[in-house]
């Protein structure tokens, strides 16, 4: 599927405010570490440029990726070599610190503004296309966070507003202050919790969905099965990639592998094609540090699936058979802690 003539990259609209992106985006996070060692800067830049040449124009970063904002700095350098007006650049604010057992979040208006100024500088741009709250600070009314974001839109510093991992109630309240263009949510064959409430709500309100970890952090490419989990990475302790859980999850990979053979594509292409087929309002952002894998992912756009195919693929990954939580810490809005000069106490337990 990866070979042959250039894949025609479709474009989709996210939200109802005018944002148009390539159907397949690119998650830049891994370029500065996380699931692997950081790649050399010139490699990172060349992958971003390669993606652009293949029709991918939607790039995702965050101020919290990489040490000392390394990811935004890298993306900024790559952008210098691309036509700005043809790129849709997304970044995020809000995670002050991310630790295995807790995530410290800040959504105060002053913090929102200072983060935006910082990101604009590091990225070397005059505006951010899509600016997300990376996690929701439940100690600040969402109306206050949104009020500041709205001002940033009015000032032309950001074009569109997004939220990552909000609850349905937060989405409704935020959308009432200023239209939300996209929700960035974990969504893949083995993480489907947004199907019940979040996707129907986003369709009701006309909000796009940007699935992160759409290839299950590499699981559907055989990470942990065909090749081992890279040492000293987040995956070494991830519940789905370790111990008995990984053993149980292997059966899921084997089923997808068999279905992929039937469709004449790779397992990861099938998993990504499944996400791509979930609607015209969905634009996933798989990440990779390798051109070969990027080509593989781009090839998923060519995989055509019928309703019956989609059902067979969904049925091959029954959610109750997936072993392990989707995240290391359940880092969602109900369990955030706002950074207020002091970090959370050592024995602070996030409620489930
Ligand atoms: P996230 O959104 O959290 O970055 P993801 O996009 O689901 O997660 O998965 C990213 C991981 O999938 C990366 O570790 C990447 O590994 P490489 O950098 O080695 O490519 C892996 N991955 C992405 N595409 C892949 C492919 N086609 N084959 C194998 N692994 C792939």
Token pair of 103 as six digits: 């995530």
Nearest in space to 163 (alpha carbons), one of 197, 196, 136: 136
Lateral strand order in the sheet of 95-98: 95-98, 103-105, 337-338
183 strand-pairing partners: 163, 209
- 234 flagged as catalytic: no
pLDDT at 6 (0 to 100): 80
pLDDT at 42 (0 to 100): 98
| pLDDT exceeds 50 at position 2 | no
Separation CA 337–CA 351 (nearest Å) = 11
| Cβ pair 340, 111 in contact under 8 A | no
**pLDDT top residue among 6 and 188:** 188
Band of pLDDT at residue 184, cut at 50, 70 and 90: very high
Band of pLDDT at residue 48, cut at 50, 70 and 90: very high
CB-neighbour burial class of residue 109 (10 A; exposed 0-12, middle 13-18, buried 19+): middle
Any atom of ligand 1 within 6 Å of the Cβ of 76: no
pLDDT at 100 (0 to 100): 60
Token pair of 222 as six digits: 């055989």
pLDDT at 327 (0 to 100): 75
Measured by CA distance, the residue closest to atom 25 of ligand 1 is 293
Stated pTM of the model: 0.94
Q: Which of 65, 111, 131, 212 is catalytic?
A: 65
Ligand 1 atom at shortest distance from the alpha carbon of 286? 6
Band of pLDDT at residue 329, cut at 50, 70 and 90: low
Token pair of 55 as six digits: 């029709």
What angle (nearest 5°) sits at the alpha carbon of residue 267, between those of residues 264 and 273? 80
Any atom of ligand 1 within 6 Å of the Cβ of 224: no
pLDDT digits (tens, 9 = 90+) for 270-280: 999 999 999 99
Q: Would you list the domain boundaries of the chain?
A: 11-218+278-303
pLDDT digits (tens, 9 = 90+) for 65-86: 999 999 999 999 999 999 999 9
Band of pLDDT at residue 315, cut at 50, 70 and 90: very high
CATH topology of domain 11-218+278-303: TIM Barrel (3.20.20)
pLDDT at 328 (0 to 100): 60
Separation CA 211–CA 283 (nearest Å) = 7
pLDDT at 117 (0 to 100): 98
126 strand-pairing partners: none
Hey, which of 36, 43, 132, 217 would you mutate to test ligand 1's pocket, going by the most ligand atoms within 8 Å of its Cβ?
A: 217
Separation CA 132–CA 95 (nearest Å) = 11
Band of pLDDT at residue 124, cut at 50, 70 and 90: very high
């Amino acid at each position: 599927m990866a070979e042959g003539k250039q894949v025609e990259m479709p474009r989709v609209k996210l939200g109802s405010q005018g944002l148009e992106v390539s159907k397949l985006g690119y998650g830049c996070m891994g370029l500065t570490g996380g699931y692997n060692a950081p790649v050399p800067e010139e490699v990172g830049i060349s992958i971003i440029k390669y993606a652009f040449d293949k029709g991918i124009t939607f790039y995702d970063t965050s101020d919290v990726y990489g040490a000392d904002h390394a990811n935004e700095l890298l993306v900024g350098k790559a952008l210098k070599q691309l036509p700005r007006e043809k790129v849709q650049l997304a970044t995020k604010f809000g995670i002050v610190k991310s630790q295995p057992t807790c995530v410290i979040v800040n959504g105060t208006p002053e913090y929102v503004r200072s983060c935006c100024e910082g990101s604009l500088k590091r990225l070397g741009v005059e505006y951010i296309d899509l600016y997300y709250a990376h996690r929701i600070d439940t100690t600040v009314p969402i109306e206050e966070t949104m009020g500041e974001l709205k001002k940033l839109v009015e000032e032309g510093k950001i074009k569109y507003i997004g939220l990552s991992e909000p609850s349905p109630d937060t989405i409704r309240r935020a959308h009432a202050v200023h239209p939300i263009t996209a929700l960035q949510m974990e969504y893949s064959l083995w993480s489907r919790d947004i199907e019940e409430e979040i996707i129907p709500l986003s369709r009701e309100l006309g909000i796009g969905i940007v699935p992160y970890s759409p290839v299950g952090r590499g699981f559907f490419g055989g990470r942990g099965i065909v090749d081992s989990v890279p040492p000293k990475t987040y995956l070494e302790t991830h519940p789905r990639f370790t111990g008995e859980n990984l053993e149980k999850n292997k059966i899921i990979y084997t089923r997808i592998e068999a279905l992929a053979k039937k469709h004449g594509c790779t397992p990861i292409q099938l998993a990504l094609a499944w996400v791509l087929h979930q609607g015209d309002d969905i634009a996933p952002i798989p990440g990779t540090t390798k051109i070969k894998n990027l080509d593989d992912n781009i090839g998923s756009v060519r995989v055509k699936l019928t309703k019956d195919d989609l059902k067979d693929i969904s049925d091959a990954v029954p959610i109750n058979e997936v072993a392990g939580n989707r995240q290391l810490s359940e880092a969602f809005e109900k369990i955030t802690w706002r950074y207020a000069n002091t970090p959370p106490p050592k024995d602070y337990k996030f409620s489930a």
